[in-house]
Amino acid sequence: MTEETQKTPLEYARDIINQLKEMQHYAQTNAEKLSSQWLAFSEGEFKNKLFAEKVGDLLNKQGAYVEELQGVINDMELECNRIENEA
């Protein structure tokens, strides 16, 4: 029989931060892929203004998501550090 250990709220928050960082990594990779697709429609071999605009819109939204996610990660890390310093 194994003994299960309960995570502290701080450990749980650190786990969430790690998950958010992983999500951010994939979101950044997706933004880079969208960027190359936008270039193909905007200036490259598949010139198409309508598709360039649509992909550009997605790229802007993905970029905003990445920035917002970074802000949440920063806020959570600051709070975790504050809690650790008070302990």
Cβ atoms within 10 Å of 41's Cβ, excluding its own:
19
How are the residues of the chain apportioned to helix, strand and coil, as percentages rounded to the nearest 5? 85, 0, 15
pTM (whole model) above 0.85: no
* Type of residue at 80: C
Q: Two tokens at 39?
A: 């270039």
* Position 71 confidence tier, pLDDT thresholds 50, 70, 90: very high
Give the pLDDT confidence of 3-60 residue by residue, as tens digits.
678 999 999 999 999 999 999 999 999 999 999 999 999 998 889 999 999 999 999 9
Nearest-CA neighbor of 34 among 22, 17, 51?
51
CA–CA separation, 36 vs 62, rounded Å? 14
| Torsions phi, psi for 5 (to 5 deg) | -105, 135
